[in-house]
Structure 1
Amino acid sequence: MAPKRTSTSAAPAMTRAAIRKLVADSVATALEAQAATMANFDNTNRNTRQGEARVARKCSYKEFLSCQPFNFKGTEGAVDLIR
Structure 2
Amino acid sequence: MISISLLRPPKRTSTSEAPAMTQVAIKKLVVDSVSAALEAQTANMANTDNTTRPREAPVARKCSYKEFMSCQPINFEGTEGVVGLIRWFE
If the length of structure 2 is used for normalisation, what is the TM-score? 0.40
| Higher Rg of the two aligned structures | 2
- TM-score (ref. length: structure 1): 0.43
